[in-house]
Amino acid sequence: MTRPMNAYLLFAAKAYRLRLQYRAAHLVNNIASAIFGFMYMAIWQAAAGGSPAADAYGGTTMVHWVAFNQVMLWASVFLTRGLGIPEAVRTGVIGVELLRPLDFHWLALSREMGNVVYSLLHRSLPLAIVFGLVAGVHVPQRPVTTVLLAGGVVLSIYIGLCLQYLIGISSIWTTQIRAANHLFFTLHTAFSGFLVPIDLLPRPFDTVARFLPFAPLHHDPARIYLEMAGVDALLGPVVWAAVLTVLCRGLTVLARRRLEVQGG
């Protein structure tokens, strides 16, 4: 079991080093990302800043909410489209990759983990520092929050990876990956709580959002971070992580079967 483990790590490390080459360009992107963050903060302050908070979502809270989600965006949402699987399908490399003696789902995920680690260090961290300097940092009151937050962040990343994996693996059956990607971003905008907490959505949407795998990306960890919820906010993410794992692995089996039939 140690040898394949090393292989997964190797893939992650390679992806990380590849990213390092484009640091300069990413720097400009970070500035843009920070501006996006400030923009959202300004909007919430303009909307909610004047009136005293009727409930948990007041002006100051929303500033931290938006900052946290902007930082998380790079770790769990802005991943390689379809984890690079559509390109592998187009070039035919997928045949080789699926037949390697490695678990394809873990392989794709660990390769992307290299990118995630890169993004955390070179995108999320600088952003968090900038937001912290300008808007202040929310420090959790209870120590247990840190533990829960770590869990929420890890689950957010894992679910983000699985969703991209689903988009990617679907390219074996369809050519409409761009459409799938747009659908993903549409649903993310509406139902993740990225800009607007799910509790604030108009009537049917808030219920729908609670039953979709997008809340664990932003809404749930943000509520833990701002101590609006405790361990209960991890229930949704844990369930979704399990469901998505089963779904991903099932589709991988089907994909392999299909390729074997095609390959003859």
Partner 1 sequence: MTGLLPAVQLYLRSVQSAMRAKMQYRADFITGLLLYGVLSATDFLMIAAILTRFPRLGGWDVYEVGLLYGMASVAMGLYRTFGAELHEFERYLVRGEFDGLLVRPWPTLFTLLGRNVEPERLGNSLQGALLVGICSWRLWETGALDALEVAYVAAVSIMGTLVPFSLALITAAFGFWVVRIDEFQTFVMYAPVAASHYPLTVYPGWLRALLTSVLPVGFMNFVPVQYLLGKGGGPWVLWASPLVMVGFAVLAYGCWRLGERHYQSTGT
Partner 2 sequence: MSAIVEAVELRKVFRVAKDRPGVLGALRGLFSWEGREVRAVDGISFAIRRGELVGYLGPNGAGKSTTIKMLAGILHPTSGEVRIEGRSPQRHRQEVVRRLGVVFGQRTQAWWDLPVRDTLELLAAMYGVKPADYRAALKRFDEMLEIGAILDVPVRKLSLGQRMRADLVAAWLHRPPVVFLDEPTIGLDAVAKRRIREFLREINRREGTTILLTTHDMDDIEELCSRVMVINHGRLVYDGDVEGMRRAVGVPSSMRVEFAAPPAGPLVGPWTAAVQEGPTVTVAFDRSRCTAAEVIAALNRCGPIRDIYMEEPDIERVIERLYAQAGTAGGAAPANSPGGVVTRPGP
- Can you give the binding site for partner 2, defined by CB under 8 A? 23-24, 27-28
Tell me 124's DSSP state: I
Residue 16 vs 158, nearer CB to partner 1? 16
Residue 38 vs 68, nearer CB to partner 1? 38
Task: Please answer whether residues 225 and 137 qualify as being in contact, where contact means their C-beta atoms are separated by less than 8 angstroms.
Answer: no
Both tokens assigned to 160 = 């983000």
Q: 23 is in the binding site of which of partner 2, partner 1, none (Cβ under 5 to 8 A by kind)?
A: partner 2
CA 86 to chain centre: 19
Assess 52 for contact with partner 1 (CB under 8 A): no
**Closest separation between CB of residue 113 and partner 2, Å?**
22
Interface residues for partner 1 in 148-207 (CB under 8 A)? 175-176, 178-179, 182-183, 185-186, 189-190, 195-196, 200-202, 205
Assess 133 for contact with partner 1 (CB under 8 A): no
| Sequence letter at residue 15 | A
Task: Please answer whether residues 167 and 247 qualify as being in contact, where contact means their C-beta atoms are separated by less than 8 angstroms.
Answer: no
Among all chains, which residue has been given the structure tokens 């770590």?
150
Both tokens assigned to 169 = 């693996």
| Sequence letter at residue 200 | L
Both tokens assigned to 205 = 């949407």
The CB density around residue 261, as the number of other CB atoms within 10 Å, is 8
Residue 30 vs 80, nearer CB to partner 2? 30
Q: What angle do CA 112, 208, 164 make, to 5 degrees?
A: 10
Assess 47 for contact with partner 1 (CB under 8 A): yes
Residue 122 vs 188, nearer CB to partner 2? 122
Tell me 81's DSSP state: G
Assess 44 for contact with partner 1 (CB under 8 A): yes
Assess 235 for contact with partner 1 (CB under 8 A): no
Run of H or E residues at 220 = helix 219-225
Assess 51 for contact with partner 1 (CB under 8 A): yes
Which residue, 167, 160, 139, is CA-closest to 237? Answer: 160
Residue 9 vs 27, nearer CB to partner 2? 27
Assess 23 for contact with partner 1 (CB under 8 A): no
Q: Where do contacts with partner 1 occur on this chain (CB under 8 A)?
A: 22, 25-26, 28-29, 31-33, 35-36, 38-39, 42-48, 51, 175-176, 178-179, 182-183, 185-186, 189-190, 195-196, 200-202, 205
